[in-house]
Structure 1
Amino acid sequence: MDKKIVLITGGSSGIGKSIGTYLTTKGFTVYGTTRNPKNYLDFDNFELVQLDVKDVESIQNAVSQVIAQEGRLDVLINNAGVGITGPIEETPHEEILHVFDTNFHGPIHVMKAVLPQMRKQGGGAIINVTSIAGYMGLPYRGFYSATKGALGLITEALRMETKDFGITITNVAPGDFATNIASGRYHSPVIEGSAYKEKYAQTLRAINDDVDSGGDPIQVAEAVHKIINQKKPKVHNPVGAFLQKFSLRLKKVLPDKVYEKLLLNHYKL
């Protein structure tokens, strides 16, 4: 078989760029997406195509472009996403809608666009980039956790619905990695006089410190490469520091209140 054709949403920076660059070195033909390719005229890691996960027409156009150029599409990596922080009570609802449109509805629209081609060619792979944060409700990151948790559940359901088509669907759940996600994250403002002011400001500093000291995103790229080469990949594939992955095991075995206490201690709340 010829080189596998890979489409990565959000491929111009961060984890998506690392995955695309790594897969290119392994012989894959990679297409990354960005909302505005004109901002990346010097980008030469792999080809970038225009795609906005909030625009269904742009999704259809990007997928059609790749299929027209290559005749097939073997791997979709749903990576595009945004961060959001803030007290649930004080987060503007338009920002809640935006993060769900980007992190949840967007990946669904992209999967809907590629599934007919994958069925037609008799197989393919979809890897949804979720997050370790999606396995728990984190304080002041509740909406981000909710979007990634919801995408993880969709992954579980879609695996079963497509099992007869030769399509493997799985997720890779990164922990904290040193990327530029913080620069694009929506932060609800720390409001003077708010009941949440001190605890939110304190947690926000801890979140940013965790990202700044995070691991090399090449670890996620290596995990994705491994998943692509597996005939029967696991549903859930957490990637990150030992303690972050171990926290998922603890959540399964500890009583809810005990696990909640561990999170409260971690964030000093």
Structure 2
Amino acid sequence: MNKVVLVTGASSGIGKSIATHLSSLDYKVYGTSRNPNKYSNLPFELVALDVHDLESAHNCVASILQKETTIDVLINNAGVGITGPIEETPIDEVKHAMETNFYGPLRVLKAVLPIMRKQKRGQVINITSIAGYMGLPYRGIYSASKGALEIATEAYRMECAHLNIHFSNLAPGDFATNIAAGRYHAPVVAGSDYEKGYSHTLKLIDEHVDDGNDPMEVAYTVEKILKAKNPGIHYKVGSFLQKFSIVLKKILPEKMYENMLKKHYGL
């Protein structure tokens, strides 16, 4: 039987690429969106899910199990972007980002793990970010939310190993998606001590997304993980420099690495 895969946040961007690619292979794919009726002509079925709501997560899983006998794979992809000087970013927006990027996947897991435990098998891929490996200026909240998910996944992996449920992180770099359109931007405040640095960084971020690679690269990496006999803990996909930045953080003195980032962002 074809494996059943649940991909959150599959109406656009990386999630849509993952769900579309897996649908072309031997997988039965269900994607999620807060408003699935807004989308049509997708090669997979969209199910309603608001990752801010645990009941919504349980309802999503229940609706899939009305049609399927298992949920074999969960890909936690739903997320939001957020930029701004941390001091000037409204706490409500910080909470919203954490609710989506960190607590959201945990809620979905609370709904899916009992199913996987009962069927005595399962696989989870949490989509994080290369930004989660470092505190990036004016993206600190986004980095923190994705970094938190990276660390939590490491713990989940050990806690669930004896249940035959396998966890992996997949951290993309910048890809050509519409994430910038949905990202919360703290306003650039004229006369602020952060005005110059934040303005420059916003421009740089948008250039990176516009020049980003095809998100299908992430989908191909998901396929690789799903076909691996013994999936690893951490996977990265992106440009050479983005992936190499993680290596540099490990080997360079801390202040040297910090100065390298500051120079890159013109700070």
Q: Give the TM-score category using the shorter length.
A: over 0.9
Task: For residues 134-160 of structure 1, give each alpha carbon's deviation from its aligned partner in whole angstroms, at most 9, with x where no partner exists.
Answer: 000000000000000000000000000
Seq. identity, %: 60
Aligned to 2:258: 260
The letter for the 2-side match of 1:23 is: L
The letter for the 2-side match of 1:112 is: K
Cα deviation for residue 184 of structure 1 reads: 0.2
Moved over 6 A (4+): none
SS at the partner of 1:89?
A: helix
Aligned to 1:165: 163
The letter for the 2-side match of 1:38 is: N
Aligned length: 267
Pick from 106, 109, 112: which aligns with 1:108? 106
- Cα distance in 2 for partners of 1:194, 1:110 equals 39
Aligned to 1:9: 8
SS at the partner of 1:210?
A: helix
Normalised by the length of structure 2, the TM-score is 0.99
Aligned to 2:236: 238
SS at the partner of 1:162?
A: helix
SS at the partner of 2:86?
A: coil
SS at the partner of 1:224?
A: helix
- Cα distance in 1 for partners of 2:205, 2:244 equals 19
Task: For residues 13-71 of structure 1, give each alpha carbon's deviation from its aligned partner in whole angstroms, at most 9, with x where no partner exists.
Answer: 0000000000011121000000011211x232210000000011111000111122101
- Cα distance in 2 for partners of 1:163, 1:152 equals 17
SS at the partner of 2:96?
A: helix
SS at the partner of 1:69?
A: coil
Aligned to 1:62: 60
Task: Extract unaligned runs of 5+ from structure 2.
Answer: none
- Cα distance in 2 for partners of 1:33, 1:142 equals 27
Aligned to 1:31: 30
Cα deviation for residue 112 of structure 1 reads: 1.2
Matches within 5 A, 1:1-269: 2-40=1-39, 42-269=40-267
SS at the partner of 1:151?
A: helix
- Cα distance in 2 for partners of 1:255, 1:132 equals 19
Normalised by the length of structure 1, the TM-score is 0.98
SS at the partner of 1:215?
A: coil
- Cα distance in 2 for partners of 1:15, 1:252 equals 28
The letter for the 2-side match of 1:230 is: A
The letter for the 2-side match of 1:25 is: S
